[in-house]
């Protein structure tokens, strides 16, 4: 889509190009409740439009977050060349196809190239991208590519395991299905030994659990 058409498309979707006002979202939710046969004026639903608006703002706050600001001051020079892994990162996201949640755990590893990132920043990067309308495949790639570019690491590996309510509650209705996606960059892709070490380590039990 050409730039002028893209700008016009955004303006058509959002009026003046800015996010909808809170009251507009609340009104849309009230209309939706009416359209499915409910009464938004009844006692149990009086505050529901406001609650839904607040929930959507929280679940999509990643659109307003900047990775560079998040990482500011958290990259440290260090003479360390072994693998760094942060695993079992809980995440929640909204499927862009049905606006239903998918959730699970993310495992991240990288091989440093003369600098590391503060460990708490890795789950925060996961949150930035998961708190947007997503598909699991793209989410996995975004996390890996962001870490690779910001760290200039020798390699990055990301594995995500998730349950999707759009598969569990509707459609095929398979409640025990887990979707697994991965993205391997640098030596994690080119060197099988490095990739195998990463996959082996993320399969081990958590701290305090027997291997």
- Residues with Cβ within 8 Å of 139's Cβ and at least 6 positions away in sequence, in order, are 93, 129, 130, 160, 181
Domain residue extents for the chain: 3-59, 70-203
| SS3 state of residue 125 | helix
Fold of the 3-59 domain: GTP Cyclohydrolase I; Chain A, domain 1 (1.10.286)
Burial of 155 (0-12, 13-18, 19+ CB in 10 A): buried
Q: Which pLDDT score is estimated for 5?
A: 43
> Could you read off the pLDDT tens digit of each residue along the chain, which spans 211 residues?
444 444 444 444 445 556 655 578 999 999 999 999 999 999 999 999 999 999 999 999 999 999 999 998 899 999 998 999 999 999 999 999 999 999 999 999 999 999 999 999 999 999 999 999 999 999 999 999 999 999 999 999 999 999 999 999 999 888 899 999 999 999 999 999 999 999 999 997 655 554 4
- Per-residue confidence (pLDDT) for residue 95, from 0 to 100: 97
Q: Which CATH architecture has domain 70-203?
A: 2-Layer Sandwich (3.30)
Q: Report residue 167: phi and psi, to 5°.
A: -95, -25
Rounded-to-integer distance, Cα 102 and Cα 134, Å:
9
DSSP assignment of 87-118, as one string? EEEEEEEEETTT--EEEEEEEEEEE-SSEEE-
pTM for the full predicted model: 0.85
Backbone φ, ψ for residue 82 (5° rounding): -100, 165
Where helices occur in 105-191 by DSSP H, the ranges are: 121-130, 136-151, 165-168, 187-190
CA 159 – CA 155 distance, rounded (Å)? 14
The pLDDT score that the predictor gives to residue 73 is 84
Which amino acids are annotated catalytic?
Answer: 95-98, 136, 164, 166
């Amino acid at each position: 889509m050409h730039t002028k058409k893209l700008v016009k498309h955004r303006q058509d979707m959002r009026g003046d190009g800015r996010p909808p006002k809170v009251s507009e979202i609340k009104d849309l939710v009230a209309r939706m409740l009416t359209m499915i046969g409910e009464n938004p004026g009844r006692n149990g639903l009086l505050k529901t439009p406001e609650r839904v608006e607040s929930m959507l703002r929280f679940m999509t706050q990643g659109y307003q977050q900047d990775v560079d600001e998040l990482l500011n001051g958290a990259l440290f020079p260090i003479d360390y060349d072994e693998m760094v892994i942060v695993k079992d990162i809980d995440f929640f996201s909204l499927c862009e196809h049905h606006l239903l949640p998918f959730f699970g755990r993310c495992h991240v590893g990288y091989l440093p190239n003369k600098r590391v990132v503060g460990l708490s920043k890795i789950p925060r990067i996961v949150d930035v991208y998961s708190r947007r309308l997503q598909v699991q495949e793209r989410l996995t790639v975004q996390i890996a590519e962001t870490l690779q570019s910001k760290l200039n690491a020798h390699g990055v590996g990301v594995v995500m395991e998730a349950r999707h309510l759009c598969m569990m509650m509707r459609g095929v209705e398979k409640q025990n299905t887990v979707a697994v996606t991965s993205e391997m960059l640098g030596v994690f892709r080119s060197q099988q030994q490095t990739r195998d070490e990463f996959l082996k380590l993320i399969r081990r039990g958590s701290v305090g659990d027997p291997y």
